[in-house]
Structure 1
Amino acid sequence: MNLTELAVKTVYWFFLYGFIGWGVEVVYAAVKTHALVNRGFLCGPICPIYGFGMVGLVYSVNLIPLPDSGSLSAVAVFFIGMALTTAIELVGGWALFKIYHIRWWDYSNMKFNLGGYICPQFSLLWGLGSVLMIKVFHPLLARGSNPMPFKVMLILDIVLLLIFAVDVGVSTAAAIGLNKYLREIDELRARLRVTSDKLTTVLGTGAMTADAVLDEQKLQLALAKLEGRENAAELRAEVTARVSDLRDKLAAAEHDHIGARRLLRAFPGMKSLKYGETLATTRAAMVHLRELAANARETAATAAANAKEKIKKA
């Protein structure tokens, strides 16, 4: 096999195993959360870390000299795979954190973790997965890809690389946008806290809660307590404006299926060094917004059904 054929084959394996890894992540998340979520950093169905890991593992195993024509033992594959994939996970997690200032996955709650990027529990799983892939699945996939003509594989690689390049660009912009979004939410929350403090001073008790910020009915109940108070109209207008700005920003993220919303759902363990509290609050708020929307749809459906029933009786 010449260098051109080797390069084409390598790109093919990268995309194939990146797709398989993405599928494993989606299935794992579906079993754990009972919801289908794109668990990759990219928009498309691929997790590059799995592609790099398997390509590196396949070549590492094949490049190790053996005294005969036999293959490496499962034990050797286990340790090679565990070391290689753990190193890739460590470097990948560290690089993403340094670039975006966000920890996309976090093993801090696991024993003997290293910086939250890697932990022995998952390293053992990577080792076991490496044995399964090298000893069972890769030989089957290799035989299945052999009949594919070289030109077909070359064209496929080129098309996938172009799509991949666009996806990387879009996803990078989304990750940068997420940091900007969190900063904007943080600023809005700070302004709302100032206004809430004014409200507390006037009423003598805390009036603004997370529910009141998102639920119009609860907000109006809180504002009703201002009746008859000094500067009530001015304070009511300020509270309403601050709450409206925050709601609009949170709602925008809930409808951003490529950017903030997708990334927040894809990485439930995501942590932000600078906007940690804001990130946690935003997650909770988006869940609450979805619940409010679901309740509104249910109420509307019930009202429509009752109206139809009245029409029939009439």
Structure 2
Amino acid sequence: MNLTEFAVKTVYWFFLYGCIGWCVEVVYAAVKEHKLVNRGFLCGPICPIYGFGMVGLVYSVQLIPLPDSGSMSAVSIFFIGMVLTTAIELVGGWVLYKLYHIRWWDYSKMKYNLGGYICPQFSLLWGLGSVLMIKVVHPLLARGSNPMPFRVMLILDIVLLILFVVDVIVSTAAAIGLNKYLSEIDELRARLRVTSDKLTTVLGTGAMTADTVLDEQKLQLALAKLEGRENATELRAEATARVAELREKLAAVDRHPLSTRRLLRAFPDMKSLNYAETLAATRTAVIRLRELAAAAKETARETAANAAEKIKKV
């Protein structure tokens, strides 16, 4: 196999196993959370960390001298796979954290974890998975891909590489956009806390809970308590404006065209270096706004149905 064929084959395995890894992540999330979620950093159906891991594993196994039997033992594959994939997960998690100041996965709750990036429980799973992939899956896929003409594989690699590069650019923009949104939301929350403190001083009790901020009906009930109070008009206007700004920013996150919303759904254990509290609050608020919007639509639908029914009776 010459260098060109080696490169084409390597890219082919990278995309194939990256896609298989994505499928595994989606199935795992579906079983755990009972819903389908794109669990990759990228928008497309690929998890590059699996692609890198399997390519590295396949070539590592091939390069290591074999025993007289001509095949590497499952135990050897287990340890090679465990060490290699754990190292890739550690480096990948650390690099992503340093680049975006966000931890995309977090094993901090697992025993004996290292910085939340890796843990022995998952390392053992990677080792077992490596044995399965090398002993069973890879031989089957290798036999299936052998009949594929070199030119067809080359064209496929080029197309996938172009799509991959575009996806990386778009997903990177989404990650950067998420950080930008968190910064802006953090500032808006700080302003709203100042306003809430003013209301608490006037009313003698807390007036701006998280749910009050998101639910228009609860907000108006809270502001109604200002009637007859000093500076009531100014405080009402200030609170209404602050809440509107925050709601609009949260809605913008939910409808972001570069998949910022998808990243929030894909990584439920995501943690931000600079905006940890704001990230958690944003995730909860976006879900709550979605629920309120759905409830409002359902109420409007029922109202329209009741009105239509009354018209029919008339």
1:280 and 2:280 equivalent? yes
**1:208-242, CA deviations, whole angstroms, 9 ceiling, x for partnerless residues?**
11111000000000000000111110111000000
TM-score (structure 2 length as normaliser) = 0.98
> What letter is aligned with 1:163?
L
Kept in 2, the 8 Å contact 1:178–1:259? The answer is no
**1:229-244 paired onto structure 2 within 5 Å:** 229-244=229-244
1:301 and 2:301 equivalent? yes
Corresponding residue for residue 155 of structure 2: 155
**1:109-258 paired onto structure 2 within 5 Å:** 109-256=109-256, 258=258
Aligned-pair CA distance for 1:257:
5.3
Aligned-pair CA distance for 1:143:
0.7
**Aligned mates of 1:288, 1:101 — CA distance in 2:** 26
> What letter is aligned with 1:27?
V
Kept in 2, the 8 Å contact 1:272–1:279? The answer is yes
3-state SS of paired residue (1:157): helix
Aligned-pair CA distance for 1:184:
0.4
Aligned-pair CA distance for 1:109:
0.3
**Aligned mates of 2:131, 2:148 — CA distance in 1:** 26
Kept in 2, the 8 Å contact 1:61–1:77? The answer is yes
> What letter is aligned with 2:250?
L
1:10 and 2:46 equivalent? no
> What letter is aligned with 2:177?
G
Aligned-pair CA distance for 1:303:
1.7
**Aligned mates of 2:145, 2:286 — CA distance in 1:** 44
Which deviates the most, 115-124 or 32-41?
32-41
**Aligned mates of 1:182, 1:227 — CA distance in 2:** 34
> What letter is aligned with 2:232?
A
Find runs of 4+ consecutive structure 1 residues off by over 3 angstroms: none
**Aligned mates of 1:123, 1:47 — CA distance in 2:** 17
**Aligned mates of 1:218, 1:268 — CA distance in 2:** 28
**Aligned mates of 1:256, 1:50 — CA distance in 2:** 27
Which deviates the most, 299-308 or 34-43?
299-308
Aligned-pair CA distance for 1:129:
0.6
What are structure 2's unaligned runs of at least 5 residues?
A: none
The alignment of Structure 1 onto Structure 2 pairs a total of residues equal to 314
Kept in 1, the 8 Å contact 2:103–2:272? The answer is yes
**Aligned mates of 1:299, 1:250 — CA distance in 2:** 23
Kept in 1, the 8 Å contact 2:58–2:134? The answer is yes
Kept in 2, the 8 Å contact 1:105–1:269? The answer is yes
Kept in 2, the 8 Å contact 1:256–1:262? The answer is no
Aligned-pair CA distance for 1:260:
1.9
> What letter is aligned with 1:11?
V
TM-score (structure 1 length as normaliser) = 0.98
**Aligned mates of 1:65, 1:312 — CA distance in 2:** 84
**1:68-100, CA deviations, whole angstroms, 9 ceiling, x for partnerless residues?**
361111111111000000000000000011111
Kept in 1, the 8 Å contact 2:16–2:51? The answer is yes
Aligned-pair CA distance for 1:298:
1.6
Sequence identity (%): 84
Kept in 1, the 8 Å contact 2:173–2:258? The answer is no
What are structure 1's unaligned runs of at least 5 residues?
A: none
3-state SS of paired residue (2:179): helix
Kept in 1, the 8 Å contact 2:104–2:269? The answer is yes
Corresponding residue for residue 65 of structure 1: 65
Aligned-pair CA distance for 1:256:
1.7
3-state SS of paired residue (1:118): coil
Kept in 2, the 8 Å contact 1:177–1:259? The answer is no
